[in-house]
Amino acid sequence: MGNFQELKVWQKGKDLAVYIYKLTQGGPLSKDYGLKDQMQRSSVSIPSNIAEGDELNTSKQAINHFYIAKGSSAELLTQSIIAHEIGYINKEVYLHIKEECESISSMLYKLIQVRIKNIK
């Protein structure tokens, strides 16, 4: 606990947030302020909640934040599906985001399971 920058899941989450910010700076997505804002917020929420959770004093508190990060990953995936279906992002970009969100979600699930064992 307390070394969030070393967590691979935090690194992946941070990299995904940077990718989303760069993606939303141009093209049709940059002009849809609502969707752009939601995608940026959900992407930043992933590593932010992982960091906050890892810095907290108890596994119980950390688990709650990891679940929030997992939810933010699902939000970003949903927003990416919508962006793809309305033609804002191409299939390749969508599949990259999908793969990253699914990987992060899986890693968070495993991290949560480890922290649950620490409670017992």
Residues 80-84: contacts with CB within 8 Å, 24+ apart?
80/39, 82/35, 83/29, 83/35, 83/39
Q: What pLDDT was estimated at residue 96?
A: 98
Extents of the domains making up the chain: 4-119
**Average pLDDT of span 93-105:** 98
Closest CA to 66 of 19, 17, 114: 114
Q: Please report, to the nearest 10 degrees, the dihedral formed by the alpha carbons of residues 78, 70, 102, 118 taken in order.
A: -170
The dihedral built from the CA positions of residue 16, 104, 97 and 50, taken in this order, carries a sign that is negative
Q: What pLDDT was estimated at residue 38?
A: 98
Residue 2 above 90 pLDDT? no
Of the CA atoms within 13 Å of residue 63, those in its CB half-sphere come to: 12
Residue 1 above 70 pLDDT? no
**Average pLDDT of span 32-47:** 98
Q: What pLDDT was estimated at residue 65?
A: 97
Query: What's the whole-number average pLDDT of the chain?
Result: 95
E strands in the chain: none
Residue 120 above 80 pLDDT? no
CATH 1.20.1440.60 fits 4-119, yes or no: yes
Q: What pLDDT was estimated at residue 58?
A: 87
Residue 3 above 80 pLDDT? yes
Percent of residues, the chain, with pLDDT higher than 70: 98
* pTM tops 0.75, yes or no: yes
